[in-house]
Amino acid sequence: MIRAIAHVDMDAFYASVEQRDRPELRGLPVIVGADPKGRGVVSACSYEARVFGVHSAMPISKAARLCPQGVYLPVDMDKYVRVSADVMAILGEFSPLVEPVSVDEAFIDLTGTETLWGPPYEAVRAIKARIKRETGLTASAGLAANKFIAKVASDLDKPDGLVVVEPGREPEFLAPLPIERLWGVGKATAKELQGLGVATIGQLQRIAPRALVARLGPHGPDLLDLAFGRDERAVEPFTPPKSMGAETTFERDCREPARLEETLRYQAERVARELRAEGLAACRVTLKLRWADFRTLTRSHTGDPTQDGLEIYRRAAVLLARERLVQAVRLIGVSASTFRPQARGQLPLLDPAAVRREQLARAVDRITGRFGRSAILPARLLGRDDPSE
């Protein structure tokens, strides 16, 4: 059976929610993110703001220069999550196979739903209409025989668009698009492909597999499969998180190792709380640093599974100590990945205090769940503001 998979992507989600709730902002360049007088980045922006060159993940200071007349609003994640839940509930009425990708996008498998909703194209139109009617927001969608093509299609006719790619026409659909549209093609891979004279996906389709292997290694054949639109992944409605993390952008670039370590300590506790809440332990801890010139590096360590904030901090601090602070740090972050189910009371072999800390952490979770996160803290952090919030 040929699959029918849609990718539904809310248009300028955060900014659109703000414009919906505050009609006086409609038609204005709305930019949601950090304080424009401070640091941080743009989380989302309206289409009116994009005319000025503003886009998500842009430094907020640059956005303020490009669009000084913009309306700058803080992120209200609780509100966006509530609206997202309404959207996902609508998708769930059309198929039990809904895979949220983020707060504002999801895949939905409509294969075999024709007797309920008609042809998949009509079902997607009905989904878009329901979202508009019930939330007041627009969504763009792509419909194809696999997830990759549906994702690419949903981005080609924004806002409020619907692009359908007929099965068998995937190579033709992809051919004129730039190679950067392929998953896994960043600046480095794009430069390698340009060395082969490849700028579009159609040009990549004509490259011999052995030439790609010679240039890109084992990643080459996978890239060629995507260039022809091959993707066999199923829509997975209960995909566990792949990583959990916390980042902090400093108000002023930081050169103080003590402050960097203190920030890591807060972040490690935050990540550990999330791990315990999900019943997970992480084997891999990753440190992220962004320098004042916006260059970014990541360093990782893999060890025994842990959900202990102190242990996560220790691993991240070791990674930090190995790096020379060649310039001031703009952003620091820590994340945990490579998850395993939590295993209570089975960690004493290398660290006799691990079980005691595990029990202590759960007691702290109960206290902070009732009285707030600042009710009890590691002594090192008492009397200090949490920079990770």
Task: Name the residues annotated as catalytic.
Answer: 105
Residue the block writes with tokens 């424009």: 36
Helices (H) and strands (E) in the chain, counts: 15, 12
Confirm if 361 and 272 have CB atoms less than 8 A apart. yes
Which of 33, 71, 67, 73 lies closest to 50 in space, CA to CA? 67
First to last CA, the chain: 48
Confirm if 36 and 60 have CB atoms less than 8 A apart. yes
SS (H, E, C) 82-127: HHHHHHHHHHHHHCCCEEEEECCEEEEECCCCHHHHCCHHHHHHHH
CB under 8 A, 24+ apart: contacts of 118-124: 120/4, 120/6, 121/162, 121/164, 123/6, 123/94, 124/6, 124/8, 124/162
Sheet (strand 98-102) strand order:
98-102, 105-109, 5-10, 139-144, 162-164
Residue 163's SS3 state is strand
Which DSSP letter does residue 70 get? S
Phi first, then psi: give them for residue 342, nearest 5 degrees.
Answer: -60, 145
Q: At what angle do helices 257-278 and 354-371 cross, to 10 degrees?
A: 80
Phi first, then psi: give them for residue 281, nearest 5 degrees.
Answer: -130, 145
The residues, any chain, with a CB within 8 Å of residue 227's CB and separated by 6 or more, are: 171, 174, 182, 201, 204, 205
Which DSSP letter does residue 189 get? H
Tokens, residue 256 = 């103080």
- Residues 118 and 88: their CA atoms lie apart, in Å, by 20
Which of 269, 262, 265, 340 lies closest to 302 in space, CA to CA? 340
Residue type, 108: I
